[in-house]
């Protein structure tokens, strides 16, 4: 069970990276001369009805929350000696 929980973090990170790469490729197809670090903002401005930025943010926050929960659970198990 613990291995499945830890395996979920790299899978979520890979999904998050895939969303970011798709947005980046779509932006580069429109204007390859523009090099922007604000992929989310620019993608939302150029593609207002796209769900990719929302999915990216959801995956990012899910990854952060799960990592925090796993860290807290691991620390509690160490402290309480179980």
Token couple for 68 = 């925090």
Please list, in sequence order, all residues whose beta carbon lies within 8 angstroms of the beta carbon of residue 67, skipping any fewer than 6 positions away: 9
- C-alpha distance from residue 75 to each of 8, 17, 69 (Å): 19, 28, 10
pTM reported for the whole predicted model: 0.72
If one counts the domains in the chain, the total is 1
Rounded to whole angstroms, the Cα distance separating 4 from 2 reads 5
Residue range 12-68, pLDDT digits in tens: 889 889 998 998 888 888 877 766 678 888 888 888 898 888 888 998 898 899 888
Closest CA to 12 of 52, 48, 54, 65: 65
Domain hosting residue 49, numbered range: 2-79
Q: Is 74 a residue whose pLDDT tops 80?
A: yes
Residue 9 has a CB neighbour count (10 Å cut-off) of 13
């Amino acid at each position: 069970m613990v291995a499945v929980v830890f395996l979920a973090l790299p899978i979520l990170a890979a999904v998050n990276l895939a969303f970011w790469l798709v947005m980046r490729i779509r932006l580069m197809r429109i204007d390859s001369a523009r090099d922007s670090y604000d992929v989310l903002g620019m993608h939302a401005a150029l593609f207002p009805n796209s769900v990719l930025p929302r999915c990216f943010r959801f995956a990012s926050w899910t990854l952060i929350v799960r990592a925090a929960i796993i860290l807290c659970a691991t620390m509690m198990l160490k402290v309480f000696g179980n």
